Amino acid sequence: MALKEKLKNLLTAGVPAPETVPQDIPHGDMPGDKIRIGAEHIRKANLLFPRLLEELARTGKDRAVVSVYGGSGVGKSEIASLLAWRLQEAGIGSYVISGDNYPRRIPLYNDAERLRVFRVAGLQGLVAGGAYSDGVQEVLSKLWAAETDPDPALRGEYPWLEVYQRHGRAALTDYLGTAAEQDFDELNAILSAFRSGASACWLKRMGRTEEERWYSQVDFAGVEVLILEWTHGNSPFLTQVDIPVLLNSTPEETREHRRLRARDSKTDSPFTTMVLEIEQAKLDAQARTSRLAISKAGELLDPAAL
Protein backbone atom coordinates (compact mmCIF):
# COMPACT_ATOMS: atom_id res chain seq x y z
CA MET A 1 0.00 0.00 0.00
CA ALA A 2 1.33 3.45 -0.92
CA LEU A 3 2.17 5.96 1.80
CA LYS A 4 -0.72 8.20 0.75
CA GLU A 5 -3.21 5.40 1.30
CA LYS A 6 -1.69 4.41 4.63
CA LEU A 7 -1.90 7.99 5.87
CA LYS A 8 -5.50 8.33 4.71
CA ASN A 9 -6.50 5.21 6.63
CA LEU A 10 -4.59 6.27 9.76
CA LEU A 11 -6.10 9.74 9.76
CA THR A 12 -9.57 8.29 9.34
CA ALA A 13 -9.25 5.63 12.04
CA GLY A 14 -7.02 7.58 14.41
CA VAL A 15 -3.94 6.27 16.20
CA PRO A 16 -4.03 5.79 19.99
CA ALA A 17 -1.13 7.33 21.86
CA PRO A 18 1.04 4.85 23.79
CA GLU A 19 1.57 5.44 27.49
CA THR A 20 4.81 3.47 27.64
CA VAL A 21 7.59 2.92 25.12
CA PRO A 22 10.26 0.19 24.99
CA GLN A 23 13.68 1.56 25.92
CA ASP A 24 15.40 -0.31 23.10
CA ILE A 25 13.64 1.33 20.16
CA PRO A 26 15.90 2.12 17.16
CA HIS A 27 17.51 5.55 17.22
CA GLY A 28 19.76 7.77 15.12
CA ASP A 29 22.87 6.46 13.42
CA MET A 30 25.46 8.66 15.17
CA PRO A 31 28.17 6.31 16.54
CA GLY A 32 28.14 6.17 20.33
CA ASP A 33 25.04 8.34 20.68
CA LYS A 34 22.83 7.37 23.60
CA ILE A 35 19.24 8.37 24.08
CA ARG A 36 17.37 8.56 27.36
CA ILE A 37 13.64 8.57 26.72
CA GLY A 38 11.60 10.08 29.52
CA ALA A 39 7.94 10.84 30.11
CA GLU A 40 8.32 14.37 28.71
CA HIS A 41 9.69 13.03 25.42
CA ILE A 42 6.82 10.57 25.10
CA ARG A 43 4.27 13.31 25.82
CA LYS A 44 5.78 15.64 23.22
CA ALA A 45 5.99 12.89 20.59
CA ASN A 46 2.37 11.97 21.25
CA LEU A 47 1.33 15.59 20.68
CA LEU A 48 3.38 15.88 17.50
CA PHE A 49 2.54 12.53 15.93
CA PRO A 50 -1.04 13.15 14.70
CA ARG A 51 0.03 16.54 13.36
CA LEU A 52 2.97 14.89 11.61
CA LEU A 53 0.61 12.43 9.91
CA GLU A 54 -1.44 15.37 8.64
CA GLU A 55 1.65 17.12 7.31
CA LEU A 56 2.88 13.94 5.62
CA ALA A 57 -0.51 13.56 3.96
CA ARG A 58 -0.35 17.14 2.70
CA THR A 59 2.91 16.46 0.88
CA GLY A 60 1.15 13.92 -1.31
CA LYS A 61 4.42 12.01 -1.62
CA ASP A 62 5.22 8.34 -1.23
CA ARG A 63 8.56 9.22 0.31
CA ALA A 64 9.17 12.23 2.55
CA VAL A 65 11.96 13.75 4.63
CA VAL A 66 11.15 15.08 8.09
CA SER A 67 13.69 17.05 10.11
CA VAL A 68 13.56 17.29 13.90
CA TYR A 69 15.69 20.28 14.81
CA GLY A 70 16.46 22.67 17.64
CA GLY A 71 19.19 23.70 20.04
CA SER A 72 21.93 21.31 21.11
CA GLY A 73 20.75 18.83 23.74
CA VAL A 74 17.09 19.80 23.48
CA GLY A 75 15.88 16.25 22.87
CA LYS A 76 16.10 15.86 19.10
CA SER A 77 17.44 12.30 19.25
CA GLU A 78 14.71 11.16 21.63
CA ILE A 79 11.81 12.83 19.80
CA ALA A 80 13.04 11.70 16.38
CA SER A 81 13.39 8.12 17.64
CA LEU A 82 9.91 8.15 19.14
CA LEU A 83 8.32 9.54 15.97
CA ALA A 84 10.13 6.93 13.87
CA TRP A 85 9.02 4.17 16.24
CA ARG A 86 5.41 5.31 16.12
CA LEU A 87 5.52 5.42 12.31
CA GLN A 88 6.87 1.88 12.28
CA GLU A 89 4.16 0.72 14.69
CA ALA A 90 1.58 2.30 12.38
CA GLY A 91 2.96 0.39 9.39
CA ILE A 92 5.00 3.20 7.85
CA GLY A 93 8.66 2.39 7.24
CA SER A 94 11.05 4.91 8.77
CA TYR A 95 14.73 5.53 9.44
CA VAL A 96 16.49 8.12 11.63
CA ILE A 97 19.59 9.76 10.16
CA SER A 98 21.82 11.93 12.34
CA GLY A 99 23.10 15.17 10.84
CA ASP A 100 25.95 15.10 13.36
CA ASN A 101 27.71 12.67 11.00
CA TYR A 102 28.13 15.42 8.39
CA PRO A 103 30.39 18.15 9.77
CA ARG A 104 33.61 18.72 7.83
CA ARG A 105 35.73 18.06 10.94
CA ILE A 106 35.56 15.71 13.90
CA PRO A 107 34.21 17.39 17.07
CA LEU A 108 37.67 18.07 18.57
CA TYR A 109 38.92 19.81 15.43
CA ASN A 110 35.66 21.64 14.82
CA ASP A 111 35.66 23.03 18.34
CA ALA A 112 39.24 24.19 17.72
CA GLU A 113 38.26 25.75 14.39
CA ARG A 114 35.37 27.63 15.98
CA LEU A 115 37.74 29.08 18.58
CA ARG A 116 40.34 29.90 15.93
CA VAL A 117 37.77 31.74 13.82
CA PHE A 118 36.67 33.77 16.83
CA ARG A 119 40.16 34.68 18.00
CA VAL A 120 41.67 35.50 14.61
CA ALA A 121 38.79 37.84 13.76
CA GLY A 122 38.97 39.39 17.23
CA LEU A 123 42.66 40.12 16.85
CA GLN A 124 42.19 41.54 13.38
CA GLY A 125 39.40 43.75 14.69
CA LEU A 126 41.67 45.16 17.40
CA VAL A 127 44.39 45.92 14.89
CA ALA A 128 41.99 47.50 12.38
CA GLY A 129 40.40 49.60 15.12
CA GLY A 130 43.71 50.86 16.48
CA ALA A 131 43.12 49.19 19.84
CA TYR A 132 45.93 46.64 19.68
CA SER A 133 49.18 46.93 21.64
CA ASP A 134 51.82 44.75 23.29
CA GLY A 135 50.01 45.25 26.59
CA VAL A 136 46.73 44.14 25.09
CA GLN A 137 48.36 41.01 23.72
CA GLU A 138 49.87 40.24 27.10
CA VAL A 139 46.44 40.35 28.71
CA LEU A 140 44.87 38.40 25.85
CA SER A 141 47.40 35.60 26.23
CA LYS A 142 46.33 35.17 29.85
CA LEU A 143 42.65 35.30 28.90
CA TRP A 144 43.24 32.68 26.19
CA ALA A 145 44.94 30.38 28.68
CA ALA A 146 41.97 30.76 31.05
CA GLU A 147 39.50 30.53 28.11
CA THR A 148 37.75 33.67 29.33
CA ASP A 149 38.41 35.95 26.33
CA PRO A 150 34.76 35.61 25.13
CA ASP A 151 33.40 36.65 28.55
CA PRO A 152 31.48 39.97 28.24
CA ALA A 153 31.74 40.47 32.01
CA LEU A 154 35.43 41.37 31.56
CA ARG A 155 34.74 44.38 29.32
CA GLY A 156 34.55 46.69 32.33
CA GLU A 157 38.11 45.80 33.27
CA TYR A 158 39.36 45.70 29.65
CA PRO A 159 37.28 48.09 27.48
CA TRP A 160 39.09 47.04 24.28
CA LEU A 161 37.64 43.54 24.79
CA GLU A 162 34.32 44.82 23.39
CA VAL A 163 35.97 45.37 20.00
CA TYR A 164 37.69 41.99 20.15
CA GLN A 165 34.51 40.13 21.08
CA ARG A 166 32.32 41.99 18.59
CA HIS A 167 34.55 41.13 15.64
CA GLY A 168 35.13 37.58 16.86
CA ARG A 169 31.43 36.97 17.34
CA ALA A 170 30.61 38.30 13.86
CA ALA A 171 33.11 35.91 12.27
CA LEU A 172 31.85 33.01 14.38
CA THR A 173 28.30 33.79 13.25
CA ASP A 174 29.46 33.56 9.64
CA TYR A 175 30.97 30.14 10.34
CA LEU A 176 28.50 28.29 12.56
CA GLY A 177 25.97 26.19 10.68
CA THR A 178 27.24 27.20 7.25
CA ALA A 179 28.78 25.20 4.41
CA ALA A 180 32.20 26.06 5.85
CA GLU A 181 31.39 23.96 8.92
CA GLN A 182 28.85 21.40 7.66
CA ASP A 183 28.81 19.28 4.49
CA PHE A 184 25.34 20.21 3.30
CA ASP A 185 26.11 19.07 -0.26
CA GLU A 186 26.68 15.47 0.79
CA LEU A 187 23.61 15.39 3.01
CA ASN A 188 21.41 17.02 0.37
CA ALA A 189 22.56 14.41 -2.15
CA ILE A 190 21.57 11.58 0.21
CA LEU A 191 18.18 13.08 1.00
CA SER A 192 17.54 13.73 -2.68
CA ALA A 193 18.42 10.14 -3.60
CA PHE A 194 16.02 8.87 -0.94
CA ARG A 195 13.19 11.09 -2.14
CA SER A 196 13.82 9.95 -5.69
CA GLY A 197 13.33 6.30 -4.74
CA ALA A 198 16.85 4.97 -4.10
CA SER A 199 16.68 1.45 -2.69
CA ALA A 200 19.88 1.91 -0.68
CA CYS A 201 22.36 4.66 0.19
CA TRP A 202 25.85 4.84 1.65
CA LEU A 203 25.55 6.88 4.83
CA LYS A 204 28.46 8.51 6.58
CA ARG A 205 29.51 7.62 10.11
CA MET A 206 31.76 9.86 12.18
CA GLY A 207 33.18 9.16 15.61
CA ARG A 208 35.37 11.40 17.72
CA THR A 209 38.77 10.60 16.17
CA GLU A 210 40.15 10.89 12.62
CA GLU A 211 40.23 7.09 12.34
CA GLU A 212 36.52 6.84 13.07
CA ARG A 213 35.18 7.78 9.66
CA TRP A 214 33.40 5.25 7.49
CA TYR A 215 30.28 4.57 5.41
CA SER A 216 27.52 2.01 5.93
CA GLN A 217 25.10 1.00 3.21
CA VAL A 218 21.54 1.33 4.49
CA ASP A 219 18.60 -0.46 2.87
CA PHE A 220 15.85 2.02 2.06
CA ALA A 221 13.63 -0.48 0.24
CA GLY A 222 10.91 -0.36 2.91
CA VAL A 223 11.52 3.17 4.18
CA GLU A 224 8.86 5.76 3.41
CA VAL A 225 9.80 8.50 5.89
CA LEU A 226 13.38 9.54 6.57
CA ILE A 227 13.76 11.51 9.80
CA LEU A 228 16.79 13.78 10.06
CA GLU A 229 17.66 14.82 13.61
CA TRP A 230 20.02 17.78 13.60
CA THR A 231 20.54 21.25 14.98
CA HIS A 232 20.67 22.55 11.40
CA GLY A 233 17.61 20.64 10.19
CA ASN A 234 15.89 23.78 8.89
CA SER A 235 18.95 25.56 7.55
CA PRO A 236 18.60 27.45 4.26
CA PHE A 237 21.56 25.36 3.08
CA LEU A 238 19.43 22.22 3.48
CA THR A 239 17.21 21.90 0.42
CA GLN A 240 15.68 18.41 0.62
CA VAL A 241 13.47 18.55 3.74
CA ASP A 242 9.69 18.34 3.36
CA ILE A 243 8.60 18.87 6.96
CA PRO A 244 10.82 20.75 9.46
CA VAL A 245 9.78 20.15 13.09
CA LEU A 246 11.14 22.63 15.62
CA LEU A 247 11.84 21.72 19.24
CA ASN A 248 11.88 25.22 20.64
CA SER A 249 14.08 26.22 23.56
CA THR A 250 16.13 29.07 24.99
CA PRO A 251 19.95 29.02 25.37
CA GLU A 252 19.46 28.63 29.14
CA GLU A 253 17.23 25.58 28.63
CA THR A 254 19.71 24.16 26.15
CA ARG A 255 22.60 24.51 28.62
CA GLU A 256 20.58 22.69 31.27
CA HIS A 257 19.85 19.86 28.82
CA ARG A 258 23.54 19.60 28.01
CA ARG A 259 24.48 19.60 31.68
CA LEU A 260 22.09 16.76 32.46
CA ARG A 261 23.26 14.84 29.43
CA ALA A 262 26.95 15.50 30.20
CA ARG A 263 27.41 16.33 26.52
CA ASP A 264 30.73 18.10 27.12
CA SER A 265 32.94 19.33 29.94
CA LYS A 266 32.61 23.04 29.12
CA THR A 267 28.86 23.51 29.19
CA ASP A 268 29.05 26.78 31.11
CA SER A 269 32.17 28.27 29.50
CA PRO A 270 31.86 31.78 28.01
CA PHE A 271 32.67 30.43 24.56
CA THR A 272 30.05 27.67 24.71
CA THR A 273 27.55 30.25 25.91
CA MET A 274 28.36 32.42 22.90
CA VAL A 275 28.03 29.48 20.50
CA LEU A 276 24.63 28.55 21.95
CA GLU A 277 23.43 32.16 21.70
CA ILE A 278 24.46 32.38 18.05
CA GLU A 279 22.89 29.02 17.25
CA GLN A 280 19.69 30.08 18.98
CA ALA A 281 19.54 33.33 17.00
CA LYS A 282 19.79 31.31 13.79
CA LEU A 283 17.11 28.89 14.98
CA ASP A 284 14.85 31.82 15.85
CA ALA A 285 15.32 33.21 12.34
CA GLN A 286 14.34 29.85 10.83
CA ALA A 287 11.40 29.15 13.16
CA ARG A 288 8.66 30.62 10.99
CA THR A 289 9.44 28.28 8.12
CA SER A 290 8.84 25.23 10.35
CA ARG A 291 5.77 23.13 9.65
CA LEU A 292 5.43 22.04 13.28
CA ALA A 293 6.82 23.44 16.53
CA ILE A 294 6.64 22.50 20.19
CA SER A 295 7.95 24.26 23.28
CA LYS A 296 10.17 22.79 25.98
CA ALA A 297 7.09 22.74 28.22
CA GLY A 298 5.33 20.54 25.67
CA GLU A 299 2.95 23.06 24.12
CA LEU A 300 2.28 22.99 20.38
CA LEU A 301 3.25 26.35 18.88
CA ASP A 302 2.19 28.22 15.77
CA PRO A 303 5.40 28.58 13.72
CA ALA A 304 4.03 31.71 12.02
CA ALA A 305 3.86 33.43 15.41
CA LEU A 306 7.44 32.66 16.43
Specify whether 73 is located in the same domain as 216: yes
Q: Into how many domains does the chain fold? A: 2
Distances from the Cα of 217 to the Cα of 10, 125, 158, 214, angstroms: 31, 47, 54, 10
68 domain-assigned: yes
Which structural domain range is residue 239 located in? 3-100+198-305
Q: What is the per-residue pLDDT for 127?
A: 98
- Angstrom distance (rounded) from CA 33 to CA 290: 26
The residue from 128, 143, 175 where one domain ends is: 175
Q: What is the per-residue pLDDT for 34?
A: 80
Q: What angle do CA 252, 260, 295 make, to 5 degrees?
A: 50
The one-letter amino acid at 306: L
Q: Could you tell me the pLDDT band of residue 30, with boundaries at 50, 70 and 90? A: confident
Among 81-90, 139-148, 199-208, 266-275, the least confident range:
266-275
185 domain-assigned: no
- Angstrom distance (rounded) from CA 176 to CA 137: 26
259 domain-assigned: yes
- Angstrom distance (rounded) from CA 263 to CA 35: 12
191 domain-assigned: no
Specify whether 203 is located in the same domain as 56: yes
Specify whether 95 is located in the same domain as 217: yes
Q: What is the per-residue pLDDT for 23?
A: 78
Specify whether 113 is located in the same domain as 93: no
- Angstrom distance (rounded) from CA 200 to CA 190: 10
Helix axes 134-146, 107-128, angle to 10 degrees: 160
pLDDT at position 267 over 70: no
Specify whether 119 is located in the same domain as 69: no
* Cβ atoms of residues 217 and 91 within 8 Å: no
pLDDT digits (tens, 9 = 90+) for 37-79: 999 999 999 999 999 999 999 999 999 999 999 998 789 999 9
193 domain-assigned: no
Specify whether 161 is located in the same domain as 270: no
pLDDT at position 166 over 70: yes
pLDDT at position 147 over 60: yes
User: Edge-to-edge strand order for the sheet containing 243-247?
Assistant: 94-98, 225-229, 64-70, 243-247, 292-294, 300-301
Q: What is the per-residue pLDDT for 75?
A: 92
pLDDT at position 263 over 70: no
Q: Tell me the average pLDDT across 164-190.
A: 98
186 domain-assigned: no
Specify whether 22 is located in the same domain as 60: yes
182 domain-assigned: no
Q: What is the per-residue pLDDT for 165?
A: 98
CATH number at residue 28: 3.40.50
Specify whether 148 is located in the same domain as 272: no
Specify whether 90 is located in the same domain as 136: no
Specify whether 132 is located in the same domain as 267: no
Burial class from Cβ neighbours inside 10 Å (0-12, 13-18, 19+) for residue 262 reads: exposed
Specify whether 118 is located in the same domain as 250: no
205 domain-assigned: yes
| N-terminal to C-terminal alpha carbon distance within the chain | 37
* Cβ atoms of residues 66 and 226 within 8 Å: yes
Specify whether 254 is located in the same domain as 128: no
pLDDT at position 275 over 90: yes
pLDDT digits (tens, 9 = 90+) for 97-145: 999 999 999 999 999 999 999 999 999 999 999 999 999 999 999 999 9
